[in-house]
């Protein structure tokens, strides 16, 4: 669930409206043991992050959706509690790096019954109004491991401003639930 920090001209839209947007992440990770109960974990995932704004009114309404597709590379330190072979709990945290590769923006305007819909591809780059291709932040969370299965919940907190040269401010905030299977 993406919940970007979104501000425009001093208005905190992420505080006024529910802009949470569902997404997904899918990929593979590799765990490298350091010592008993401590490991280094990294992987490569494809992630969909975005936001949805719905601002209804009797006469005027506006809606928008931003979808950003990233190649997501987390690098975490993971600690595990419990006996091997039994159910174990884990905590993990560390930095992540994102590389944007696709995206689109959809907007719907309705003024007194006259509506207009617009859909455009995201422009990646460093020019005004373009979205920065690279994002970086920290992730932390935990979960449970039973047998070859793992279930966890994580929070990703992005640091850089993603929009270039505009009055808008956009920073990554994502809650993730993961289900994984271990290949031996």
Q: What does the DSSP assignment read for 78-117?
A: EEEES-TTS-EEEEEEEEEEEEEEEEEEEEEEEETTEEEE
Rounded to whole angstroms, how far apart are CA atoms 3 and 52?
Answer: 9
CATH class of 5-50+65-103+122-181: mainly beta
**Low-confidence residues of the chain, pLDDT below 50?**
none
pLDDT at 184: 72
pLDDT at 11: 66
pLDDT at 66: 86
């Amino acid at each position: 669930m993406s919940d970007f920090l979104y501000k425009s001209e001093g208005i905190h839209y992420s505080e006024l409206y529910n802009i949470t947007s569902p997404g997904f992440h899918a990929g593979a990770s590799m765990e490298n043991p350091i010592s008993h109960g401590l490991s280094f974990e990294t992987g490569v995932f494809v992630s969909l992050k975005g936001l949805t704004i719905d601002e209804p009114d009797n006469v005027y309404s506006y809606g928008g959706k931003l979808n950003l597709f990233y190649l997501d590379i987390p690098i975490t330190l993971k600690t595990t509690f419990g006996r091997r072979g039994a159910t174990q709990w884990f905590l993990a945290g560390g930095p992540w790096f994102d590389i944007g590769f696709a995206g689109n923006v959809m907007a719907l305007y309705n003024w007194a019954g006259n509506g207009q819909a617009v859909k455009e591809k995201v422009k990646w780059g460093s020019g005004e109004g373009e979205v920065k291709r690279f994002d970086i932040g920290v992730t932390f969370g935990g979960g449970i491991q039973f047998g070859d299965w793992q279930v966890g919940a994580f929070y990703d907190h992005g640091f850089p401003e993603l929009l270039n040269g505009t009055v808008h401010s956009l920073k990554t905030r994502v809650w993730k639930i993961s289900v994984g299977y271990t290949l031996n």
